[in-house]
Structure 1
Amino acid sequence: MSTEANYAGPRRLPRIPPPPPYRPTTGQDEPTPDTAPEPAPAPSAPPRPAVPPKPSRPAPPGYRDTASFHLANAAAVWQTRSAAKAPRKPARAETSPQERPADRTPLPPERDAATLGQPAEPTPPRRPAVRKALVAGCLVLGLGLIGGAAAGSWLAGDPGGQATAATFGDARGLWHSAPVNSLFPRTLHGTAAGPGGADRTWHRIAVAPDTNCADAFDPLLAKALSPAGCQRLLRADYADATHSSVITVGVVTTRTDVSGMRALDKRFTTERLAARRDLMPRPYTVPGTLAADFGPAQRASWSIQVLPDMPLVVYAVSGFADGREVPAPQPADEATRTGATSAPAQSGLGHDAAGVADRIEHAFRTQAAKAAEEE
């Protein structure tokens, strides 16, 4: 017989009634349940008055409702408390100036909150006396260099040199105040002034008396120089060391001012008047010397220099000392070029004209500078 057939389900225990409620004894007989009086009904509480509902507050500006506002407030409070509880970095220990390394730059002074938005004041120099001395030394050195450069450019004939009115006037009076040997030295030396860089030497053989410019130039050259005027003309003759060439050098003292000399120099440079054969200067012929046969037909090369910072025009013209004629004269600028094959170039007559003119110009500038220093 199977177990499932005999199983009649779970057994139910009989129900036991609950015990009576516990009541403390007072020493007297307690009434039985049958005779116990019924308890009096508890008094009922009075009804509470109805509470009116709270009026809804309008949402603050920027929020949809009050719930959003309180939620945002709660988030802000939470962030503030979290930042307060976060551990702070320990402050760096400040060292005294004696404890800092000597090779470190001093730290800037502390700045309070009121000055954080303002630029920091510049730190004063550590050694003002030394800096002032260095600045003063540089200033003196710079002025000396500028002054030396200006004097050098003026003496060298640089057109950029600026001559004062006093110096300009002193140069105008050199023709009668300076000794002839200082203006036309007896011997001129030219280092590397000859063809191929050879040294040249010229000796003075004659000096002309000072005169005016009447009949001293060909008509076209006299016309080209006429805007500057002519106060005085000085001339001298030189011969080279071998007595194979002769050179006439002349200096015209003009009547114009600085602006007039600059205008004349600009015209000669722009129109290349100094290279025109019809504007060659005339030689100074002196009987009984190497220049006795030096006439217009013997002119081989020439140089004309208009000084823009002095009232002077310096020129020189060269030729053969034996009196031979030169059919094709050539200006000194062309006759001194490398590779020139003309007769004036190969004989060195172009170097003679340019070299003598340069040294006479230097002599006049030197004397003008001395006259300015003596005043």
Structure 2
Amino acid sequence: MAILVFVGAVALATPTGGTAARPSTGVTAQDEALRALWRTASANDLLPATLNREGTETYIRLGVNPDETCTGLPSAFTAALAPATCSRAIEATYVDRTQTISATVGIVVLSGSINDRLHLFQSWAPDSYAMKDAMMPHVYPVAGTLAAQFSDAQRVTWQGQVSSDGTYLVYAVTAFTDGRTGPDAAARAAASGSALAAGSPAVQVAGDLPTAIQIILTAKETSTAAGGSGS
């Protein structure tokens, strides 16, 4: 389970007699197994055909980006990952059943030592970063769907969450499906305007969809850990 990796990472980062403790063999093996899972699992498996937001609202996947390289992420985003790095970026675009909100959801598979990734988990500031225009990931338009004309100019906001074991980061970038232009960089930096209010559907969805994905990925981590323990 993710919490086991996190505990092992804390042990690594805590001085003991002036020398950082090393993670146990079991923790290291589990960490490697989870990172292998995120490197090899299919995008269709990690980003399901439907997502349930808060158990009542369904988001339907319109398409998966075939490009899984990290080169499409903004440089300010990847810089904020340091000293961890991106090894794989998986993303798909979703729309809710009422066709009000579009969202590109991404999973960034992280590389680096356990300490590097623990540092990212501890230092990542989702609310602050959501106000930084240069860090906001791009959207993924899907030809032949409601999101065919989905563009960066329509983006309202975004949110990113790092898993407690530091093996991945999940983000969501949201917009309204009617094609309206999103807030400009100044408005986003000040979190001003109705589109960026706490009660705005775009703001709420940007926070909720990464949580929904984390629940799915945590279940996969638990299954992998159980299989690795031979239970």
Structure having greater relative contact order (Cα 8 Å, sep ≥ 6): 2
Is the 8 Å Cα contact of residues 111 and 117 (structure 2) preserved in structure 1?
no
- The aligned counterpart of 1:262 is 118
Task: Tell me if 1:165 matches 2:28.
Answer: yes
- The aligned counterpart of 2:217 is 364
SS in 1 for 2:216: helix
Amino acid at match of 2:3: W
- The aligned counterpart of 2:133 is 277
How many aligned residue pairs are there?
208
1:322, CA displacement in angstroms?
A: 2.3
- The aligned counterpart of 2:59 is 202
In 2, distance between residues paired with 1:217 and 1:312? Answer: 15
Is the 8 Å Cα contact of residues 76 and 135 (structure 2) preserved in structure 1?
yes
- The aligned counterpart of 2:69 is 212
Amino acid at match of 1:212: T
1:306, CA displacement in angstroms?
A: 2.1
Residues 88-127 of structure 1: pairs in structure 2 closer than 5 A: none
Is the 8 Å Cα contact of residues 121 and 166 (structure 2) preserved in structure 1?
no
Amino acid at match of 1:352: V
In 2, distance between residues paired with 1:299 and 1:160? Answer: 33
- The aligned counterpart of 2:202 is 349
In 1, distance between residues paired with 2:67 and 2:214? Answer: 17
SS in 2 for 1:343: helix
Instruction: Check 1:173–1:160 CA distance in 2 against 1; reply closer, same or farther (3 A cut).
Output: closer
In 2, distance between residues paired with 1:217 and 1:308? Answer: 22
Deviations 1:325-373 (A, max 9, x none): 1124777xx98xxxx9722445401111111111112212211221121
Amino acid at match of 1:172: R
Residues 1-375 of structure 1: pairs in structure 2 closer than 5 A: 154=3, 162=8, 164-191=27-54, 199-214=56-71, 216-269=72-125, 272-328=128-184, 342-345=194-197, 346-375=199-228
In 2, distance between residues paired with 1:327 and 1:341? Answer: 8
Deviations 1:86-122 (A, max 9, x none): xxxxxxxxxxxxxxxxxxxxxxxxxxxxxxxxxxxxx
Deviations 1:196-223 (A, max 9, x none): xxx3221111112252111x12222222
Indicate the structure with greater strand content: 2
Instruction: Check 1:167–1:369 CA distance in 2 against 1; reply closer, same or farther (3 A cut).
Output: farther
The TM-score normalised by the length of structure 1 is 0.49
Amino acid at match of 1:255: S
Structure 2 gap segments, 5+ residues each: 10-26
In 1, distance between residues paired with 2:6 and 2:36? Answer: 23
Runs of 4+ in 1 over 3 A off after TM superposition: 159-163, 175-182, 269-275, 328-331, 344-347
Percent of pairs identical after alignment?
A: 33
Structure 1 gap segments, 5+ residues each: 1-150, 193-198
1:252, CA displacement in angstroms?
A: 1.0
Whichever of the two has the greater Rg, that structure is: 1
In 1, distance between residues paired with 2:219 and 2:45? Answer: 9
